[in-house]
């Protein structure tokens, strides 16, 4: 593993053309290969088995004790560990509501037109470096994921001089929290200091070292318990219980009638011998399911508050005014995320691009293009024109996406504009 990282550091310093470095596996420092001659070599076989096991993702369901153990591992003083918490995060992100609210916040932050600008004016040539580039979209998404999952290193995996081809997120489980050190093995004690690698490794941390999912995990695990309890409740009380009363004490007859009841399934009829009474008992407490339903709803609201700081953009609002307040609250959250994103892009990504051969002037930076609402812009432009200002043909064509054959004469009056005659 150290040799791999040394190669990365050398690549970062020299910015070699057509450089490629590969991360793979948990036992890079002790690669193991077997042949037919090694069938009796217990040591090599054991090493291979251990490495394979360590690479496997643990898919069993996480509980509160797993979350507590992961927090203990993360916050321990000597050598903190992150992989246990990342496994908890992988598990809780299977929740549909949590996925929806996190993607909502991410999309509102990243689904914008990012562009290069010099002195506040967009530069189309520089913007081509990032416009419609897959690597840049991955950088935006994975950088914002640090809000939820904590410290993130994005590795520029493949590049030419002045051209990034592919990026990849380093397994967060290999990160020693707060120290910018990557472990060669999730269970190892040695790693590589990458705090000074600023060209092929991009560091992102939008919330905290551990991420906001630390708080979301408890709600998600409790919600899963309620779903399981509701499922058991449905099995016990959702379907009416059918009881057959027979006069015979024969075990053969009892088993035969029991088989008939089972074979009935959802059918509304059955054929039984004379003397058999079938009684159907329905659950009289029709609102008992609310115990689970209300708890699940409450936990969903807590998740919405935690991630989006409000609930009405994901739930039905009670009034328009309250909905606007909640929308404004979410707007403040997204505005803060966009500021963090621009700071990350201009302090991490742009300097790295320069070191990798992109010809980017020192006074150039990435901005978010303003979204123009045509209706609002028409009102603004109409007010300007009514006060005697003259708009350029190129401006009108760019803003409204139309082609103008000729511009109006100077005696074009406000009355003509309002009448719609050009």
The answer as to whether 179 is a domain residue is yes
**289 is a domain residue:** no
Which of residues 200 and 407 earns the better pLDDT score?
A: 200
The answer to whether residue 55 is domain-embedded is yes
| Total domains, the chain | 3
Looking at the fold, whether 256 and 383 belong to one and the same domain comes out as no
pLDDT digits (tens, 9 = 90+) for 337-371: 999 999 999 999 999 999 999 999 999 999 998 87
Are 110 and 192 members of one domain?
yes
CA distance between the termini of the chain: 72
- Of the ranges 67-76, 181-190, 258-267, which one carries the lowest mean pLDDT score? 258-267
pLDDT of residue 95: 94
pLDDT exceeds 60 at position 30: no
Question: 351, 198 in Cβ contact below 8 A?
Answer: yes
Residues 53 and 160 grouped into a single domain: yes
Same domain, 200 and 274: no
Residue 248 counted as domain residue: yes
Q: Residue 214 burial by CB count (10 A; 0-12/13-18/19+): exposed, middle or buried? A: buried
Position 147 confidence tier, pLDDT thresholds 50, 70, 90: very high
Computed over every residue of the chain, the mean pLDDT equals 80
pLDDT of residue 186: 77
Q: Are 161 and 206 members of one domain?
A: yes
Cα–Cα distance list, 389 to 13, 264, 402, 412 (Å)? 54, 83, 20, 12
Tokens standing for residue 5: 């990282």
150/85 same-domain check: yes
How many Å apart are CA 228 and CA 238, to the nearest integer?
14
For residue 317, pLDDT beyond 60: no
Strand, coil or helix: what is 28? helix
Residues 130 and 246 occupy one common structural domain: no
Token output for 337: 């995320």
118-127, 228-237, 324-333, range with the lowest pLDDT: 228-237
Judged by average pLDDT, the poorest of 59-63, 129-133, 154-158 is 59-63
- Position with higher pLDDT, 202 vs 34: 202
Residue 178 counted as domain residue: yes
Tokens of 370: 């303003």
Domain assignment of residue 105, given as a range: 2-210
* Domain shared by 251 and 196, yes or no: no
Whether 132 and 29 map to the same domain: the answer is yes
For residues 200 and 249, membership in a common domain is answered with no
132 inside domain: yes
My answer on whether 205 and 248 are in the same domain is: no
* Residue 337: inside a domain: no
Instruction: Say if residue 277 is in the same domain as residue 396.
Output: no
Point out the domain boundary residue: 254, 281, 308: 281
**168 within some domain:** yes
């Amino acid at each position: 593993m150290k040799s791999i990282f040394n190669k990365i550091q050398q690549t970062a310093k020299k910015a070699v053309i057509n450089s490629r470095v590969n991360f793979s596996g948990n036992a890079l420092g002790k690669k193991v290969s077997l042949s037919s001659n090694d069938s009796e070599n217990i040591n090599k076989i054991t090493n291979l088995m251990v490495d394979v096991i360590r690479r496997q993702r643990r898919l069993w369901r996480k509980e509160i004790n797993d979350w507590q153990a992961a927090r203990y591992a993360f916050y321990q003083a000597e050598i903190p560990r992150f992989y246990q918490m990342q496994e908890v995060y992988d598990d809780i992100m299977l929740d549909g509501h949590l996925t929806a609210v996190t993607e909502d916040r991410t999309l509102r932050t990243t689904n914008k037109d990012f562009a290069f600008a010099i002195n506040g004016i967009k530069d189309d040539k520089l913007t081509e470096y990032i416009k419609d580039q897959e690597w840049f979209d991955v950088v935006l998404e994975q950088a914002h994921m640090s809000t939820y999952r904590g410290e993130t290193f994005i590795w520029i995996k493949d590049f030419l001089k002045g051209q990034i081809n592919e990026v990849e997120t380093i397994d967060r489980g290999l990160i020693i929290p707060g120290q910018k050190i990557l472990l060669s093995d999730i269970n190892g004690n040695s790693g590589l200091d990458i705090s000074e690698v600023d060209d092929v490794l991009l560091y992102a941390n939008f919330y905290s070292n551990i991420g906001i999912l630390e708080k979301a995990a408890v709600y998600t695990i409790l919600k899963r318990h309620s779903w399981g309890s509701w499922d058991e409740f449905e099995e016990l009380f959702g379907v009416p219980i059918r009881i057959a009363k027979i006069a015979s004490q024969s075990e053969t007859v009892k088993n035969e009638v029991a088989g008939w009841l089972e074979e009935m399934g959802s059918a509304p009829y059955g054929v039984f011998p004379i003397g058999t009474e079938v009684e159907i008992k329905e659950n009289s407490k029709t609102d008992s399911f609310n115990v689970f339903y209300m708890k699940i709803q409450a936990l969903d609201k807590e998740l919405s508050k935690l991630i989006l700081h409000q609930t009405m953009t994901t739930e039905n609002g009670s009034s328009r005014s309250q909905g606007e307040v909640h929308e404004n609250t979410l707007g403040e959250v997204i505005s803060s995320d966009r500021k963090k994103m621009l700071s990350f892009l201009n302090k991490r990504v742009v300097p790295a691009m320069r070191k990798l051969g992109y010809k980017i002037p020192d006074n150039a930076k990435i901005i978010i293009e303003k979204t123009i609402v045509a209706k609002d812009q028409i009102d603004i432009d109409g007010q300007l024109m009514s006060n005697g200002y003259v708009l350029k043909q190129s401006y009108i064509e760019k803003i409204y996406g139309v082609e103008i054959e000729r511009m109006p004469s100077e005696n074009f009056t406000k009355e003509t504009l309002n009448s719609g005659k050009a």
